[in-house]
Amino acid sequence: MTIGGLREAVTRVQPYVPGKTIEEVKRTLGLKEIIKLGSNENPYGPFPESVRAMTEELKNLNRYPDVSFERIKGLLGDLQGLPSQCFALSHGAEGMLQTMGKCFIEPGDEVVLPAATYSLYLEITRLMGGVPVPVPLAEGFRADPEAILRAIGPKTKLIWLANPNNPTGTACDVRALERLIRSLPREVWLILDEAYAEFADAALLPDRRHLIEEGCNVIAIRTFSKAWGLAGARLGYAMARPEMVTVIDTVSEPFNANRVALAGAQAALVEGRPSYEKALATILADRAWLAAELARRGCCVVPSQTNFLFFETPYSASELSQALLERGVIVRSCEGWGFDRAIRVSIGTTEETRRFASLFGDVLDDFRKGVRHHG
């Protein structure tokens, strides 16, 4: 039955499709042990320091959090080298992305974005009545700042750009990106989604601090979901010049970060730094190991600046991912992004990464022999 009275834009939006959950796979396939490598989570979080702080904070859940978020903004300022007035909080990076849509996109506005990137950008654009303008990726599966600049027209209002990109794991040319940001018309803003920035080579990322201090039309978004191991806590933040932060705070819902998430994030930023650094180093080492292992098995592996790998095989990505699922391993087929033979696999624990490599080798052997297993 159709529902009357809805905004027309709502009827055109496609629901976000997340990676499969462990519970879902256990329920549908009857498996007892699952390795989840489809959602780019940090397998080492939450860090013990965050768990202790969050547990202690539970007794305060009858009270709203400090609406100014003074402590965490100060910690973020120390981390990013910006004044606390340059930070806004949100329920996950997704919450901030939704707020960006509310701030900027009006019906008929054009919104430029890479053709293969995080799908939520497209749906937020459609929900707000905007017109998506997709720009093909450049060689090496990277977003192309020069092509994005050329795509800006008189109706352009916003640019979505994940850097590093999801699902390809690539960072775009940093000099070209900074030129793009400094060349933006007065009415056009670039939303720089840096959800995976902690896993990247810092030299490949733009100097967001100087860009913001210069007054550029850029808003950088980060999250505690990935490198900081708090995906389930749902806490993100934006960096922008203070007058833009005031606008964001006005449009956002009140108290848009919960006490438990704040406690966990603050503990991670202070006492939890050794745990964070150890986890990060392990993930990067395992990423390098797995990239070499996949290349050895004949896959085309794209150099990654994230906590996942994007690679191509000679076979159908959907069939390969299904075969892995039947063996208890969740990965992400990139068919939905237009890459019929590409898979995205998160870096799990060292044990999970080795286990995936072994099972994937078995699956490849079956496919080479023409063997197919279907549930």
Residue 358 lies in a domain: yes
Q: Is residue 96 part of a domain?
A: yes
Residues 40, 117 within the same domain: no
> Structurally, how many domains does the chain consist of?
2
**Same structural domain, 103 and 15:** no
pTM: 0.92
Please indicate, yes or no, whether residues 251 and 294 belong to a single structural domain of this protein. Answer: no
pLDDT for residue 1 is more than 90: no
For residue 134, being part of any structural domain is answered with: yes
Of the residues 236, 269, 302, which one is the last residue of a structural domain? 269
Per-residue model confidence (pLDDT) at position 9 = 75
211 pLDDT band, cuts 50/70/90, is very high
Q: 257-290, pLDDT tens digit by residue?
A: 999 999 999 999 999 999 999 999 999 999 999 9
Q: Tell which wins on pLDDT, 11 or 326.
A: 326
Tell me: do 236 and 284 sit in the same domain.
Answer: no
Last residue of one domain, picked from the residues 201, 236, 269: 269
Classify residue 374: in a domain, yes or no: no
Last residue of a domain, one of 252, 269, 286: 269
pLDDT tens string 120-131:
999 999 999 999
What is residue 253's predicted lDDT score, i.e. its pLDDT? 87
Same domain for 166 and 298, yes or no, is: no
Domain of 39 in residue numbering reads as: 8-45+274-368
CATH number at residue 295: 3.90.1150.10
**Helix (H), strand (E), coil (C) string for the chain:** CCCCCCCHHHHHCCCCCCCCCHHHHHHHHCCCCCEECCCCCCCCCCCHHHHHHHHHHHHHCCCCCCCCCHHHHHHHHHHHCCCHHHEEEECHHHHHHHHHHHHHCCCCCEEEEECCCCCHHHHHHHHCCCEEEEECCECCCECCHHHHHHHCCCCEEEEEEECCCCCCCCCCCHHHHHHHHHCCCCCCEEEEECCCHHHCCHHHCCCHHHHHHCCCCEEEEEECCCCCCCHHHCCEEEECCHHHHHHHHHHCCCCCCCHHHHHHHHHHHCCCHHHHHHHHHHHHHHHHHHHHHHHHCCCEEECCCCCEEEEECCCCHHHHHHHHHHCCEECEECHHHCCCCEEEEECCCHHHHHHHHHHHHHHHHHHHCCCCCCC
